[in-house]
Structure 1
Amino acid sequence: MNVRKLFRSFRYAWRGVAEGLQTEQNFRFHLFAALLVTILGWLSGLSGSEWLIVILLFGGMFALELVNTAIERVVDLVSPEHHPLAGQAKDVAAGAVLVFAAASAVIGCIIFIPKWLNLF
Protein backbone atom coordinates (compact mmCIF):
# COMPACT_ATOMS: atom_id res chain seq x y z
CA MET A 1 0.00 0.00 0.00
CA ASN A 2 1.32 3.40 -0.99
CA VAL A 3 0.66 5.60 2.05
CA ARG A 4 1.67 8.78 0.23
CA LYS A 5 -0.86 8.08 -2.51
CA LEU A 6 -3.52 7.32 0.12
CA PHE A 7 -2.97 10.65 1.89
CA ARG A 8 -2.96 12.46 -1.45
CA SER A 9 -6.37 10.98 -2.27
CA PHE A 10 -7.73 12.28 1.04
CA ARG A 11 -6.32 15.71 0.24
CA TYR A 12 -8.13 15.68 -3.13
CA ALA A 13 -11.35 14.57 -1.47
CA TRP A 14 -11.19 17.36 1.10
CA ARG A 15 -10.49 19.81 -1.71
CA GLY A 16 -13.72 18.62 -3.33
CA VAL A 17 -15.65 19.18 -0.11
CA ALA A 18 -14.13 22.67 0.19
CA GLU A 19 -15.07 23.40 -3.43
CA GLY A 20 -18.66 22.39 -2.74
CA LEU A 21 -18.75 24.52 0.38
CA GLN A 22 -17.29 27.57 -1.39
CA THR A 23 -19.29 27.44 -4.61
CA GLU A 24 -22.58 25.70 -3.92
CA GLN A 25 -25.29 27.70 -2.19
CA ASN A 26 -27.38 24.58 -1.55
CA PHE A 27 -24.44 22.84 0.14
CA ARG A 28 -24.10 25.80 2.51
CA PHE A 29 -27.87 25.75 3.13
CA HIS A 30 -27.71 22.05 4.04
CA LEU A 31 -24.75 22.72 6.32
CA PHE A 32 -26.75 25.44 8.10
CA ALA A 33 -29.73 23.07 8.37
CA ALA A 34 -27.47 20.34 9.79
CA LEU A 35 -26.11 22.74 12.42
CA LEU A 36 -29.66 23.79 13.35
CA VAL A 37 -30.82 20.17 13.58
CA THR A 38 -27.77 19.34 15.70
CA ILE A 39 -28.65 22.11 18.16
CA LEU A 40 -32.31 21.05 18.21
CA GLY A 41 -31.28 17.42 18.64
CA TRP A 42 -29.10 18.27 21.58
CA LEU A 43 -31.90 20.32 23.16
CA SER A 44 -34.45 17.58 22.47
CA GLY A 45 -32.33 14.83 24.00
CA LEU A 46 -32.06 12.50 21.03
CA SER A 47 -31.22 8.88 21.79
CA GLY A 48 -28.12 7.22 20.43
CA SER A 49 -30.02 5.49 17.65
CA GLU A 50 -31.77 8.73 16.72
CA TRP A 51 -28.38 10.46 16.47
CA LEU A 52 -27.14 7.67 14.22
CA ILE A 53 -30.09 8.22 11.88
CA VAL A 54 -29.62 11.99 11.88
CA ILE A 55 -25.89 11.66 11.17
CA LEU A 56 -26.57 9.25 8.30
CA LEU A 57 -29.04 11.74 6.86
CA PHE A 58 -26.48 14.55 7.14
CA GLY A 59 -23.83 12.46 5.41
CA GLY A 60 -26.20 11.34 2.68
CA MET A 61 -27.33 14.89 2.00
CA PHE A 62 -23.80 16.29 1.82
CA ALA A 63 -22.62 13.41 -0.37
CA LEU A 64 -25.57 13.74 -2.73
CA GLU A 65 -25.03 17.50 -3.03
CA LEU A 66 -21.40 16.88 -3.98
CA VAL A 67 -22.38 14.22 -6.54
CA ASN A 68 -24.95 16.62 -7.99
CA THR A 69 -22.27 19.31 -8.27
CA ALA A 70 -19.90 16.86 -9.98
CA ILE A 71 -22.59 15.87 -12.48
CA GLU A 72 -23.39 19.51 -13.22
CA ARG A 73 -19.71 20.32 -13.79
CA VAL A 74 -19.14 17.35 -16.09
CA VAL A 75 -22.28 18.15 -18.08
CA ASP A 76 -21.16 21.77 -18.45
CA LEU A 77 -17.74 20.58 -19.59
CA VAL A 78 -18.95 18.19 -22.27
CA SER A 79 -21.92 20.27 -23.39
CA PRO A 80 -21.12 23.99 -23.05
CA GLU A 81 -23.99 24.91 -25.35
CA HIS A 82 -27.55 24.14 -24.31
CA HIS A 83 -28.66 20.62 -25.13
CA PRO A 84 -31.93 19.04 -23.95
CA LEU A 85 -30.19 15.89 -22.67
CA ALA A 86 -27.64 17.96 -20.75
CA GLY A 87 -30.46 19.87 -19.09
CA GLN A 88 -32.28 16.65 -18.27
CA ALA A 89 -29.16 15.13 -16.70
CA LYS A 90 -28.72 18.17 -14.47
CA ASP A 91 -32.43 18.25 -13.59
CA VAL A 92 -32.47 14.56 -12.68
CA ALA A 93 -29.40 14.96 -10.46
CA ALA A 94 -31.03 17.93 -8.73
CA GLY A 95 -34.22 15.89 -8.40
CA ALA A 96 -32.30 13.17 -6.58
CA VAL A 97 -31.13 15.75 -4.06
CA LEU A 98 -34.69 17.02 -3.64
CA VAL A 99 -36.06 13.50 -3.05
CA PHE A 100 -33.41 12.79 -0.40
CA ALA A 101 -34.01 16.18 1.25
CA ALA A 102 -37.77 15.55 1.39
CA ALA A 103 -37.26 12.06 2.84
CA SER A 104 -34.81 13.52 5.39
CA ALA A 105 -37.37 16.15 6.41
CA VAL A 106 -40.06 13.48 6.89
CA ILE A 107 -37.69 11.36 8.98
CA GLY A 108 -36.76 14.45 10.98
CA CYS A 109 -40.43 15.11 11.70
CA ILE A 110 -40.92 11.50 12.81
CA ILE A 111 -37.99 11.85 15.22
CA PHE A 112 -38.58 15.38 16.52
CA ILE A 113 -42.34 15.99 16.63
CA PRO A 114 -43.10 13.38 19.33
CA LYS A 115 -40.30 14.81 21.48
CA TRP A 116 -41.67 18.34 21.11
CA LEU A 117 -45.25 17.22 21.78
CA ASN A 118 -44.07 15.64 25.04
CA LEU A 119 -42.83 19.05 26.17
CA PHE A 120 -46.36 20.42 26.25
Structure 2
Amino acid sequence: MGLKDKTSKGSRWRKTFVYAWQGLMDALGKEKNLQFHFVFASIMVVCSFIFSISRTEWLFVILSIFGVIALELMNTAVERVVDLVTKEYHPLAKQAKDIAAASVLVYAFMSVIIGLVIFLPKVIQLFEKWLVF
Protein backbone atom coordinates (compact mmCIF):
# COMPACT_ATOMS: atom_id res chain seq x y z
CA MET A 1 0.00 0.00 0.00
CA GLY A 2 1.50 3.30 -1.03
CA LEU A 3 1.37 6.73 0.59
CA LYS A 4 -1.40 7.80 -1.77
CA ASP A 5 -3.63 4.91 -0.60
CA LYS A 6 -3.21 5.89 3.05
CA THR A 7 -3.99 9.52 2.31
CA SER A 8 -7.14 8.70 0.36
CA LYS A 9 -8.40 6.46 3.19
CA GLY A 10 -7.67 9.21 5.72
CA SER A 11 -9.43 11.73 3.55
CA ARG A 12 -12.49 9.49 3.21
CA TRP A 13 -12.46 8.90 6.96
CA ARG A 14 -12.43 12.65 7.66
CA LYS A 15 -15.21 13.22 5.13
CA THR A 16 -17.48 10.76 6.95
CA PHE A 17 -17.12 12.85 10.12
CA VAL A 18 -17.70 16.07 8.18
CA TYR A 19 -20.88 14.65 6.62
CA ALA A 20 -22.10 13.34 9.98
CA TRP A 21 -21.43 16.72 11.61
CA GLN A 22 -23.30 18.46 8.79
CA GLY A 23 -26.23 16.09 9.34
CA LEU A 24 -26.26 16.80 13.06
CA MET A 25 -26.10 20.58 12.55
CA ASP A 26 -28.80 20.45 9.86
CA ALA A 27 -31.12 18.44 12.09
CA LEU A 28 -30.36 20.60 15.12
CA GLY A 29 -31.16 23.73 13.13
CA LYS A 30 -34.48 22.44 11.82
CA GLU A 31 -35.89 19.94 14.30
CA LYS A 32 -37.65 21.43 17.34
CA ASN A 33 -37.78 18.07 19.14
CA LEU A 34 -34.03 17.64 18.75
CA GLN A 35 -33.48 21.15 20.05
CA PHE A 36 -35.67 20.31 23.06
CA HIS A 37 -33.62 17.16 23.73
CA PHE A 38 -30.37 19.13 23.59
CA VAL A 39 -31.70 21.75 26.01
CA PHE A 40 -32.96 19.09 28.40
CA ALA A 41 -29.65 17.18 28.09
CA SER A 42 -27.76 20.35 29.00
CA ILE A 43 -29.94 20.79 32.08
CA MET A 44 -29.26 17.18 33.10
CA VAL A 45 -25.51 17.65 32.71
CA VAL A 46 -25.62 20.78 34.88
CA CYS A 47 -27.71 18.95 37.50
CA SER A 48 -25.27 16.05 37.39
CA PHE A 49 -22.42 18.38 38.28
CA ILE A 50 -24.45 20.19 40.94
CA PHE A 51 -25.42 16.95 42.67
CA SER A 52 -21.99 15.34 42.17
CA ILE A 53 -23.42 12.10 40.86
CA SER A 54 -21.33 8.92 40.91
CA ARG A 55 -19.51 7.43 37.92
CA THR A 56 -22.18 4.78 37.55
CA GLU A 57 -24.91 7.42 37.63
CA TRP A 58 -22.96 9.41 35.02
CA LEU A 59 -22.93 6.35 32.75
CA PHE A 60 -26.71 6.09 32.95
CA VAL A 61 -27.15 9.83 32.33
CA ILE A 62 -24.78 9.71 29.34
CA LEU A 63 -26.48 6.62 27.87
CA SER A 64 -29.86 8.29 28.32
CA ILE A 65 -28.79 11.54 26.68
CA PHE A 66 -27.00 10.03 23.71
CA GLY A 67 -29.64 7.34 23.23
CA VAL A 68 -32.49 9.83 22.99
CA ILE A 69 -30.53 12.08 20.64
CA ALA A 70 -29.47 9.17 18.42
CA LEU A 71 -33.05 7.90 18.19
CA GLU A 72 -34.36 11.40 17.47
CA LEU A 73 -31.85 11.65 14.61
CA MET A 74 -32.99 8.27 13.25
CA ASN A 75 -36.61 9.38 13.58
CA THR A 76 -35.78 12.49 11.57
CA ALA A 77 -34.05 10.38 8.93
CA VAL A 78 -37.07 8.07 8.64
CA GLU A 79 -39.37 11.07 8.28
CA ARG A 80 -37.17 12.55 5.54
CA VAL A 81 -37.02 9.28 3.59
CA VAL A 82 -40.77 8.76 3.84
CA ASP A 83 -41.37 12.34 2.68
CA LEU A 84 -38.95 11.78 -0.20
CA VAL A 85 -40.80 8.66 -1.32
CA THR A 86 -44.32 10.08 -1.11
CA LYS A 87 -46.00 13.38 -0.34
CA GLU A 88 -49.42 11.76 -0.40
CA TYR A 89 -51.01 10.14 2.62
CA HIS A 90 -50.34 6.43 2.83
CA PRO A 91 -51.10 4.25 5.86
CA LEU A 92 -47.67 2.55 5.69
CA ALA A 93 -45.89 5.90 5.49
CA LYS A 94 -47.80 7.06 8.56
CA GLN A 95 -46.97 3.83 10.38
CA ALA A 96 -43.27 4.18 9.56
CA LYS A 97 -43.22 7.72 10.92
CA ASP A 98 -45.30 6.85 13.98
CA ILE A 99 -43.19 3.80 14.87
CA ALA A 100 -39.95 5.78 14.51
CA ALA A 101 -41.41 8.48 16.77
CA ALA A 102 -42.53 5.80 19.24
CA SER A 103 -38.95 4.56 19.55
CA VAL A 104 -37.92 8.03 20.72
CA LEU A 105 -40.86 8.18 23.11
CA VAL A 106 -40.03 4.80 24.68
CA TYR A 107 -36.35 5.68 25.15
CA ALA A 108 -37.20 9.15 26.46
CA PHE A 109 -39.62 7.60 28.96
CA MET A 110 -36.89 5.24 30.13
CA SER A 111 -34.54 8.23 30.44
CA VAL A 112 -37.05 10.06 32.61
CA ILE A 113 -37.27 7.02 34.89
CA ILE A 114 -33.47 6.89 35.10
CA GLY A 115 -33.41 10.60 35.88
CA LEU A 116 -35.98 10.16 38.64
CA VAL A 117 -34.07 7.24 40.17
CA ILE A 118 -30.83 9.25 40.17
CA PHE A 119 -32.01 12.76 41.00
CA LEU A 120 -35.21 12.44 43.02
CA PRO A 121 -33.49 11.12 46.17
CA LYS A 122 -30.89 13.89 45.89
CA VAL A 123 -33.57 16.57 45.49
CA ILE A 124 -35.55 15.17 48.44
CA GLN A 125 -32.40 15.14 50.55
CA LEU A 126 -31.70 18.76 49.58
CA PHE A 127 -35.21 19.85 50.57
CA GLU A 128 -34.95 17.97 53.84
CA LYS A 129 -31.79 19.93 54.67
CA TRP A 130 -33.53 23.21 53.84
CA LEU A 131 -36.57 22.33 55.94
CA VAL A 132 -34.43 21.59 59.00
CA PHE A 133 -33.04 25.14 59.02
TM-score, structure 1 as length reference: 0.96
Match of 1:34 in 2: 41
Match of 1:97 in 2: 104
Match of 1:109 in 2: 116
Match of 2:51 in 1: 44
Structure 2 gaps of 5+ residues are: 1-5, 129-133
Matched, 1:15 2:4: no
Structure-2 separation of matches of 1:82 and 1:40: 43
CA root-mean-square deviation: 0.9
- Pick from 61, 64, 67: which aligns with 1:60? 67
- Bigger Cα Rg: 2
Pairwise CA distance, 1:76 = 0.5
Matched, 1:86 2:66: no
Pairwise CA distance, 1:114 = 1.2
Structure 1 gaps of 5+ residues are: none
Structure-1 separation of matches of 2:113 and 2:90: 35
Structure-2 separation of matches of 1:90 and 1:56: 24
Structure-2 separation of matches of 1:40 and 1:73: 34
Runs (4+) off by over 3 Å: none
Structure-2 separation of matches of 1:49 and 1:92: 31
1:17-39 deviation digits (Å, cap 9, x = unpaired): 10110010000000000111111
Structure-2 separation of matches of 1:77 and 1:22: 20
Count matched residues.
120
1:38-90 deviation digits (Å, cap 9, x = unpaired): 11111111111111110111111110000000000000011121111101110
Structure-1 separation of matches of 2:13 and 2:46: 34
TM-score, structure 2 as length reference: 0.87
